[in-house]
Amino acid sequence: MKFFGTDGIRGEVFKNIDHKIAFDCGNALCRLKDSPKIILGKDTRVSGDYITMSFCLGAILGGATVVDVDICPSATVAYLAKNLGYDFGIVITASHNPPTHNGIKIFNENGQKLGDENEDRLENYFGDYIRKDVMQLGKYKKLPKLKQKYINFLKKSIKCDLSKLKIVLDCCHGASTEIAPKIFKRLGAKVVIINGSPDGRKINVRCGATDVAKLKIAVKNNKADVGFAFDGDSDRIIGVDEKGEEIDGDKIIFVVANYLKQHNILKNNLVVGTKLTNLGIQNALKDNKIDIKLADIGDKYVIEEMLKSGAVLGGEKSGHIIMSDYLQTGDGILCAVKLAEILKLSQKKFSELANVEIYPQICINCPVKDKYAVINNKNLDNFIKDIEAHCADKLSILVRKSGTENVIRIMVMGKNEILAKKYAQLLEQKVKEIDQDL
């Protein structure tokens, strides 16, 4: 696919995404469904209106009705699409990427991200416009009050209030700035907010789920019980415990899985991770008699595996956590609310709940001229197989292409950090050799 990556269309504005791509995408949806009903939201980026209006023009030309709920988390759109009978949910966002980037996420009528097959179909219609007669053109409405339905859903998702908990929220100047503080205050928590202005020029800049340095300081300075950081569209969450230590997505899965198992609500005693899930987490789950299946990188692949296996919990180290009994997509605010509930009901510290050995994980991003040629190179494949045969019981290896950059991502993980670093560097050297020979 030319435009779609692992999470919709995403890239630098005017370079990888512009008004034409947005227009094409909106219009192409009218090929998948005649005169579809579309619900749309966006994060706080400066380019949000530019991409939104372009998308809506294409959709309206094709006969779609677009309902715009304005700035909100991606999960808000997924929830409303599923529960209010929309054909598609659209979020104008570049998620955790810099302010100069933007993108388009697409959910189906069940609140799930489009699969690869439908993305491929959609992309084939780009530029092949459908234009309704003037009396059949679509409509655009702005209904931000619909977000209240999502807030009500969050409030009903837990069985207790959050009184006596002190919580720091890092909203990263993004889509969570309105809803996250509101729901935690309504649930009775004492809330401290950092990076809480809806400022698209600062979104994800040294804050949020990709940089929790300020959150760590805020949790310790405020003597809080826990801190939660969201990314630009709030589909990711990273935690910070009461000691100011980071709790990443792997550890969050560990905490939630153990709690669900203790209460006999972890269906099939199974969770879904990815090929990046830390080996320490995998082994600790197995020690607790919890099985784990590994999906490809990307939360849409996690939910696909969850649906196949019947798991109700899945996620990624990066902070995409999916609780399919509630929603079939990553939802940082929902996960934060559920983690706060676990803290309140267990009467334990976050550091205690997340106490698990993490194995060293060496990650290298290697820029290349042609990521497709490198990743499909037989010499690289044979080199990886040789390492795996030699170190099968000691290391876990993942070499993949980036979804948005001309980069090969190398990950080597194992208990022995020196060994992991050695083979990560050898893989980097091999990738560079292959790239030079292209």
User: Which of 94, 48, 41 is CA-nearest to residue 70?
Assistant: 41
Q: Which residues does 124 contact at the CB level (< 8 Å), separation at least 6?
A: none
Distances (CA, A) of 239 to 148, 242, 250, 308, 354: 25, 10, 11, 29, 10
Q: Which residues does 117 contact at the CB level (< 8 Å), separation at least 6?
A: none
In DSSP terms, 42 is beta-bridged to 71, 92
Q: Which pLDDT score is estimated for 115? A: 84
Q: End-to-end alpha-carbon separation of the chain, Å?
A: 22
Distances (CA, A) of 141 to 136, 179, 428: 16, 21, 51
What single DSSP character describes residue 406? Answer: S
- Say which CATH topology domain 163-353 has: Alpha-D-Glucose-1,6-Bisphosphate; Chain A, domain 3 (3.40.120)
Helix axes 179-186, 332-346, angle to 10 degrees: 20
Listing DSSP states for 282-299 in one string gives HHHHHHTT-EEEEEPSSH
Distances (CA, A) of 96 to 101, 147, 203, 205, 256: 10, 22, 8, 9, 23
- Global pTM value: 0.92
Burial zone of 372 (CB within 10 Å; 0-12 exposed, 13-18 middle, 19+ buried)? exposed
Percent of the residues in the chain that have a pLDDT greater than 70, as a whole number: 100
Whole-angstrom distance, CA of residue 358 vs CA of residue 368: 30
Contact assessment for residue 403 and residue 4, using Cβ atoms and an 8 Å cutoff: no
Whole-angstrom distance, CA of residue 14 vs CA of residue 51: 10
User: Which of 80, 8, 43, 21 is CA-nearest to residue 230?
Assistant: 43
Residue position matching structure tokens 């019947």 = 310
CB atoms within 10 A of CB 70: 17
- Catalytic pick from 47, 74, 95, 318? 95
What mean pLDDT value characterizes the chain?
95
| Domain at 4-146, CATH class | alpha beta
Contact assessment for residue 420 and residue 364, using Cβ atoms and an 8 Å cutoff: no
* Domain range list for the chain: 4-146, 163-353, 361-437
Q: Which pLDDT score is estimated for 365? A: 95
In DSSP terms, 412 is beta-bridged to 362, 397
Which helix or strand (DSSP H or E) is residue 42 part of? Answer: strand 37-42
HEC per residue, 314-376: EECCCCEEEECCCCCCCCHHHHHHHHHHHHHHHCCCHHHHCCCCCCCEEEEEEECCCHHHHHC
Residue position matching structure tokens 């300075």 = 221
- Quick check: do 163-353 and 361-437 share a fold? no
- 95 classed as catalytic: yes
User: Which of 51, 68, 43, 49 is CA-nearest to residue 139?
Assistant: 68
Compute mean pLDDT per 10 residues along the chain, 438 residues long, and list them.
82 95 98 97 98 98 98 98 98 96 97 90 94 97 98 95 97 98 97 98 97 98 98 98 98 98 95 94 95 92 94 96 95 98 97 95 94 94 92 87 86 92 95 92
Q: Which pLDDT score is estimated for 6? A: 75
Tokens found for residue 196: 């809480």
Q: Which residues does 305 contact at the CB level (< 8 Å), separation at least 6?
A: 272, 293, 295, 311, 314
Q: Which pLDDT score is estimated for 342? A: 97
Q: Which pLDDT score is estimated for 1? A: 59
Pick the CATH number of 361-437 from 3.40.50.150, 3.30.310.50, 1.20.120.530, 3.90.230.10: 3.30.310.50
- Condensed to tens digits (0 to 9), the pLDDT of residues 329-359 reads 999 999 999 999 999 999 999 999 999 999 9
Contact assessment for residue 329 and residue 75, using Cβ atoms and an 8 Å cutoff: yes
